[in-house]
Amino acid sequence: MNTDKADQAVKQCTDKVRDLKQSLSNFLIEYEQRGVPNGGDTIDLSWPNLLDQMNVLSSQITTIRNTIKDKLPILRSHGIIPMCLSQDKDPQLEQMTERRITTFTHDFMPTLLRTKNHPDIEEREKQLMNINNKNAPTTTITTQNDVQRRVQELNSVIHSITNMFMKTKEATEKTEKQYNLQPYNNSEDTKRLMEAMNSGIGLKIAETQSAVTTSNTDAINAQPSTSQARHVNVPRFVARAANRR
């Protein structure tokens, strides 16, 4: 019963994230098609429509946060154990993650089981929060000069966010190109490795070990024999006591 509740909670969170992703994708497509000037200085973009879409995105993000907060007690009662680690390429996993992950290996476990954001993501989120706090209106807009100044501030914020989106897009495309590269493998290296592991062919004794053995042998030979007489310095009062006896 608890497992069914956990599955339903995960499904609800996944559906809401999928809806948010679709809305964000539509927003970026419209911005790229109509928000960027093509050869001129004018922008064919309706600001009321843009603000409405941003309002929808904000509402969806708030809904996701509330859903995760409500379902968190159920999710915390279940542990996640990776059971299907493999070095082989998984087409289903590649389709589910939209080519972000092609193989379910141990390299991705720290990221998949992470309970906090990546430090780079936390740093970028902190930068966005600082920009938001810095550009928050502190005084009431009363004059036309205040309006113009506020418009310039908002344009600067939008320009900064646009640059951040473009950098993220370039990094994502670069990562996808790296995944498309075929992994390098050499059959001869694999053969030598298997022969060394199974039969010991090609293994060599380290030179440091032989040097240590030789030095130990020389040290043993240099030690004096126990049968030889040794001169011991006896204190005078011990010698006098022995003579009295």
Residue-range domain boundaries for the chain: 1-79, 81-115, 116-179
Q: What is the pLDDT of residue 63?
A: 92
Q: What is the pLDDT of residue 200?
A: 79
From the number of C-beta atoms within 10 Å of its C-beta (0-12, 13-18, 19+), residue 104 rates as buried
Task: For residue 10, give every residue at least 6 positions away whose Cβ sits within 8 Å of its Cβ, in sequence order, or none.
Answer: 75
Q: What is the pLDDT of residue 240?
A: 45
Q: What is the pLDDT of residue 233?
A: 46
The token pair at 141 is: 């807009």
Question: Does the domain at residues 1-79 carry the CATH identifier 1.10.10.10?
Answer: no
Q: What is the pLDDT of residue 36?
A: 55
For the segment 160-179, what is each residue's pLDDT rounded down to a tens digit? 878 888 888 888 777 767 66
From the number of C-beta atoms within 10 Å of its C-beta (0-12, 13-18, 19+), residue 31 rates as middle
Q: What is the pLDDT of residue 121?
A: 80
Cα angle: 212, vertex 203, 106; to 5 degrees: 105
Q: What is the pLDDT of residue 157?
A: 79
Mark the ranges of the chain whose per-residue pLDDT is less than 50.
Answer: 37-40, 209-212, 225-245
Q: What is the pLDDT of residue 227?
A: 42
